[in-house]
Amino acid sequence: MNVRYASFSEFYPYYLTQHADRRCRRAHFIGTSAAILALLTALLSGSALPILAALVLGYGGAWVGHFYYEKNRPATFDQPWLSFKADWVMYWQMLTGKLSW
């Protein structure tokens, strides 16, 4: 990628192009949902172990989507903060029906 974006509004359209395959978006959605559940488990149980699970589940779902379906390199490798933010925006848009999943 090697392109640096000046703002999130510039980055997000690019981010969506990297998630054109619905199976990739689904893998993201499932991984993010599982990560949320793991974080809730950590909060309710007082155990830190589910936090590690949340990282594995969240990034694992995304990486499965990219390596198996999109056949591209996850944007998080080059733009970690913007990608993290974009993943949550994309998740919300799928949850609310503004983006198909």
Q: What is the pLDDT of residues 40-75, one digit of tens each?
A: 999 999 999 999 999 999 999 999 999 999 999 998
| Reported pTM | 0.88
**Domain for residue 39, yes or no?**
yes
**Domain for residue 2, yes or no?**
no
Quickly count: other Cβ atoms within 10 Å of residue 25's Cβ.
Answer: 22
- Side chain identity, residue 49: L
Cα torsion angle, 85, 89, 90, 95, sign: positive
Report whether pLDDT(16) > 90.
yes
Average pLDDT, integer, range 71-88: 92
Report helix, strand or coil for 2. Answer: coil
Helix residue spans in the chain (DSSP H):
8-17, 22-45, 49-64, 80-95
State how many domains the chain has. Answer: 1
Nearest Cα neighbor of 51 from 34, 26, 69 is: 34
Report whether pLDDT(1) > 80.
no
Domain that holds residue 51: 8-15+22-95
